[in-house]
Structure 1
Amino acid sequence: MAHDRQTASGSGIVNLIAGVAATGGLLFGYDTGIISAALLQITSDFGLGTAGQQVVTSAIVAGALGGCLVAAPLSDRLGRRYMIMFAALVFIVGTLVASFSPGVVILVCARFILGLAVGMCSQIVPVYIAEIAPREKRGQMVVLFQLAVVFGILVSFIAGYLCRHHSWRLMFGLGVVPAVILFVGMSVLPRSPRWLAMKGNMEGAFEVLRRLRSNPQAARAELDSIIAMHDEQAPWSALLQPWVRPAVVASVGIALFCQITGINAVLYYAPTIFAGVGFGESSALLTSIAIGVAMVISTAFGSWAVDAWGRRRLLLRLVPGAAVSLMVLAIMFGIGSTSGINTWITAAAVVSYAIFNVGSLSVAIWLVGAEVYPLSCRSKGMSLVAATHWTADLLISLTTLSLVQALGAAGTFWMYAALNLAAFVFVWRYVPETRGRSLEEIETALKAGTFNKLT
């Protein structure tokens, strides 16, 4: 009975820590998703054309690219916890500036500031959670970050719909609330035990592990394995070492395909695209809410499946469904889908695509990136993953409306369908199975050259 109480206590603390840290994901989702609804009003208020809409939308992505690169050396030097708290402060500043922007230039700057915070969270939070979670629950714990992201997106869609008759400034301003929660919550949480060990503070690392694990013996055994694999902080060039390369290929490849398979094209521009083909503004915003609900449900499923099925199997099972959904969507836009049964088929195809894509690639990106790198370059490796994600996201956000104009909606979705099929081939060839293995076991496989044989 005593052991059971200890286990429950340790598990409860880990769940609390992961939940508070994942609030950074909620901010990530809200601040990237709210532009979907706000853009309809901002375009009218500031007289934006296609280029202006894409700049306002992509400013947060440009900031995120910078934020994730800056976060790596700072999180290695200052610690994961302090950097998450700093990101929360940046969220607060960016939200206030966006809410009171007098013109489009200040709004773009505010969106860039928000992007810095989003980028920092995308790099730090998954690493922090992965480094405090026990191996058997690491999958669902890290995916909690992505679940918070899509929940934040859903909240942004709902807020956009409810505030459609009010100012877009209110839509942005609501983001202050979770930012304050994140800052206050992180101020009382422990530091990463693996970061403490990397800094040579073994006593501090053991104290944290003793709080997080079921008993002191389990904490000591885990610390011993960390010490056995302990390396000093490595420079960026460590990512070029041949033995690290399989981790780079797998994680960066998933990050790239997560974006170029089209999810953020749907996320950012769904209301604009649907309004352009005949849906009313309210109907377009309601369609976005349906997409948000689908994303939350599929991510919740994915958080179970990454540990029950495994990372690799989840991807191989769901990605083909995303490709088929986009093919149906392309056909509907090709024949005209704004009346009768075609409208429902179009909406169903969008929701189905969101379920299959978000439940697979979007679930795996932060998890695989946070667990495949050795401790000495984990933070920098995760920055590379995040930078790949945001670079591809920037490309998508800057070109989606132009692609729709050049290729038509049908041609654009055919292209994304082909990219989903390419993602399936990549996963089958380069992504191993890391379920149930400790971070130190994964590092051992990298050093032994057996990483790609993990199945």
Structure 2
Amino acid sequence: MAVPESKQNFILFTAILASMNSILVGYDIGVMSGAIINIRRDLHITDVQVEILMWVVNLYPLIGSFLAGRTSDWIGRRYTIVLIGGLFFVGTIIMSLSPNYAFLMFGHSIFGVGVGFALMIVPVYTAEVSPASSRGLLASIPEFSINYGILLGYSFNFLCSEQSWRQRLRAGVLPSLLFQVGVLAMPESPRWLVMRGRLGDARRVLQEISDSEQEAQQRLADIKSAVGIPESLNDDVVEPINKQRSGKGVWKEMFITATPAVRHIIIAVISIHFFQQAVGLESIILYSPTIFDKAGITSDSQKLLATAVVIFSKTIFILVATCLLDRFGRRPMLLTSFGGLIVSLFTLATCLTVIQHSDKKVMWAIVLSIATVLFSVASFSIGAGPITWVYCVEILPLRLRAQGVAMGVVVNRMICGVISITFLSLSKAITIGGAFFLYGTIATIGWIFFFIVLPETRGKTLEEMEASFGSFRAKPKHLLVVSEQNQSLMV
């Protein structure tokens, strides 16, 4: 049964509001990339200090994501999102007022911890308040928001180039304050409320976001079953049978006493985050001017324009993916995405190798290099980009979700940092063409791995997911039929 338009709009508004901090993350990335020249001049910092400053965005989210897992289970998803706004506000203020490099690093570190919180909790929250029929759309909004924020940052740098870097950073202060106030209007995750034994509050939230009273009751019953609360307990406040576990207990279940299904899920979470970053898309985004220079584009303005087109292309195709995930499913789109990456990365590697070993301009290789860069970004954005966050959130059981997603973020940021730091050295060691041959090989391994390991999740409730795992092969069609029959009672 479809969710009424008014309630669908409310859920969409909630997901967009929760994703506002993702826009702030992207805005900081975009503004810092353009402002770093002015910062270097004003604060008299070295190239090494610049590299460390920019790497903080990958380092401190590791801390933030681990803290977010425990925090969101303790104070709730909504108040954790409010905390993110506070971290962004404090970090931005300190950065914009920094008299020296130490203060700038301190402010950027606080902001980086907030990034870790945002990467972990926003996809969790949106998945937990979304109906199964539109979970792919709503849970991929944060990924789109980050890239939209990057575009805003680049645009602000271009349009306000006469403004100081401090003023450009301060532009993110007011939105972070408004964001904190707006989040208080959002409902708490009904799954977190049930996990804490607050059945009355969970029932009220489910009535707000469900099609009917019957559907709200069924969703509540499914969540109670997943948490371990007997169906006969219907008081507004109850004591959960399985009390909230310590972090140590969660990690033990994930890695030591894991059932076959949980072990399969953890392997899926780690692998999808690993391969998303290991294919080297981050290198294309960060070093696109260098890649275009190697491809034969020598004009700075042309390189900047080409880089802007790359980022715009990435944002547009993520938007396309958000609209298609619930129609075509996660598995087909992820396999299509990696198939496109395999073709584009090997083609780009070949073109760059031809250009590097040619004594004259090879026009066809230059044009094809630019085209394959755009194609690789498009391929990544229709699958690997948004699906990583959607898939990992929805397959993790409620009892493991917060810290399981945090673990995925840590893997993601670690691999992203390694790829970002090693690209230039790797290009010198095995040539830039060789680097992309390596990325293409990793993408091929990823496609094979996903084909064998990842089952489809479209149309299933979050409480049904665990039953889809445990055997390393695609689930039989009859399970998909059963899932479709249950869509009238979606969680």
Say whether the fold is shared (TM-score over 0.5). Answer: yes
Please give the alpha-carbon distance, in whole angstroms, between the structure 1 residues aligned to 2:71 and 2:420.
28
Q: Which position in structure 1 is the counterpart of 2:403? A: 380
Please give the alpha-carbon distance, in whole angstroms, between the structure 2 residues aligned to 1:393 and 1:91.
22
Q: Which position in structure 1 is the counterpart of 2:116? A: 119
Q: Secondary structure at the match of 1:286?
A: helix
Q: Secondary structure at the match of 1:434?
A: coil
Q: Which position in structure 2 is the counterpart of 1:298? A: 317
Query: Offset at 1:402?
Result: 2.7
- Change over 3 Å in CA distance of 1:440–1:120 after alignment to 2: same
Q: Which position in structure 1 is the counterpart of 2:158? A: 161
Listed as ranges, the matches of 1:16-35 within 5 Å are 16-35=13-32
Q: Which position in structure 2 is the counterpart of 1:410? A: 433
Query: Offset at 1:43?
Result: 5.0
Query: Offset at 1:228?
Result: 1.4
- Change over 3 Å in CA distance of 1:410–1:52 after alignment to 2: farther
Listed as ranges, the matches of 1:25-64 within 5 Å are 25-43=22-40, 51-64=48-61
Q: Does 2:267 correspond to 1:249?
A: yes
- The residue type equivalent to 2:349 in the other structure is A
Cα offsets for 1:165-217 (capped at 9, x unmatched): 55443443333344233212211111100000000001110000001111211
Decide which of 291, 301, 307 is 2:326's aligned counterpart: 307
Please give the alpha-carbon distance, in whole angstroms, between the structure 1 residues aligned to 2:402 and 2:444.
30
8 Å CA contact 1:9–1:214 kept in 2: the answer is: no
Cα offsets for 1:291-349 (capped at 9, x unmatched): 12111221112112221111010011121212222223223333438885654433222
Cα offsets for 1:103-129 (capped at 9, x unmatched): 333333322221111110111011101
Query: Offset at 1:24?
Result: 2.1
Q: Which position in structure 2 is the counterpart of 1:443? A: 466
Query: Offset at 1:48?
Result: 5.9
Query: Offset at 1:153?
Result: 2.1
Q: Secondary structure at the match of 1:437?
A: coil
Q: Does 2:92 correspond to 1:95?
A: yes
Any stretches of 5+ residues in structure 2 without a counterpart? 229-241, 477-491
Q: Which position in structure 2 is the counterpart of 1:236? A: 251
Cα offsets for 1:113-149 (capped at 9, x unmatched): 2111111011101110111000111111101111112
Q: Which position in structure 2 is the counterpart of 1:454? A: 475
8 Å CA contact 1:163–1:170 kept in 2: the answer is: no
Please give the alpha-carbon distance, in whole angstroms, between the structure 2 residues aligned to 1:359 and 1:437.
21
Listed as ranges, the matches of 1:218-229 within 5 Å are 218-229=215-226
Listed as ranges, the matches of 1:9-408 within 5 Å are 9-43=6-40, 51-164=48-161, 166-231=163-228, 232=242, 233-234=244-245, 235-240=250-255, 241-242=258-259, 243-271=261-289, 273-274=291-292, 279-336=298-355, 342-408=365-431
- Change over 3 Å in CA distance of 1:405–1:162 after alignment to 2: farther
Q: Secondary structure at the match of 1:211?
A: helix
Query: Offset at 1:92?
Result: 1.4
Cα offsets for 1:241-290 (capped at 9, x unmatched): 13311111111111111111112222223235546765333333222221
> TM-score scaled to structure 2, two decimals?
0.85
Cα offsets for 1:337-381 (capped at 9, x unmatched): 888565443322221111101221111111011101111111111
- What is the identity percentage for the equivalent residue pairs of Structure 1 and Structure 2? 29
> TM-score scaled to structure 1, two decimals?
0.91
Larger CA deviation: 152-161 vs 82-91: 152-161
Please give the alpha-carbon distance, in whole angstroms, between the structure 2 residues aligned to 1:252 and 1:178.
33
- The residue type equivalent to 2:423 in the other structure is T
Please give the alpha-carbon distance, in whole angstroms, between the structure 2 residues aligned to 1:47 and 1:270.
26
Please give the alpha-carbon distance, in whole angstroms, between the structure 2 residues aligned to 1:20 and 1:259.
27
Query: Offset at 1:47?
Result: 6.2
Q: Which has the larger radius of gyration?
A: 2
Cα offsets for 1:22-45 (capped at 9, x unmatched): 112212322234443334544555
Cα offsets for 1:209-228 (capped at 9, x unmatched): 00111121111111011111
- Change over 3 Å in CA distance of 1:45–1:351 after alignment to 2: farther
- Change over 3 Å in CA distance of 1:426–1:69 after alignment to 2: same
Please give the alpha-carbon distance, in whole angstroms, between the structure 2 residues aligned to 1:36 and 1:353.
22
- The residue type equivalent to 1:318 in the other structure is S
- Change over 3 Å in CA distance of 1:260–1:164 after alignment to 2: farther
Q: Secondary structure at the match of 1:229?
A: helix
CA RMSD, 1 decimal: 2.5
8 Å CA contact 1:291–1:354 kept in 2: the answer is: yes
Please give the alpha-carbon distance, in whole angstroms, between the structure 1 residues aligned to 2:40 and 2:431.
21
Please give the alpha-carbon distance, in whole angstroms, between the structure 2 residues aligned to 1:40 and 1:275.
20
Q: Which position in structure 2 is the counterpart of 1:432? A: 455
- The residue type equivalent to 2:413 in the other structure is W
Cα offsets for 1:69-103 (capped at 9, x unmatched): 10001100000000111011111111222223333
Number of aligned residue pairs? 450
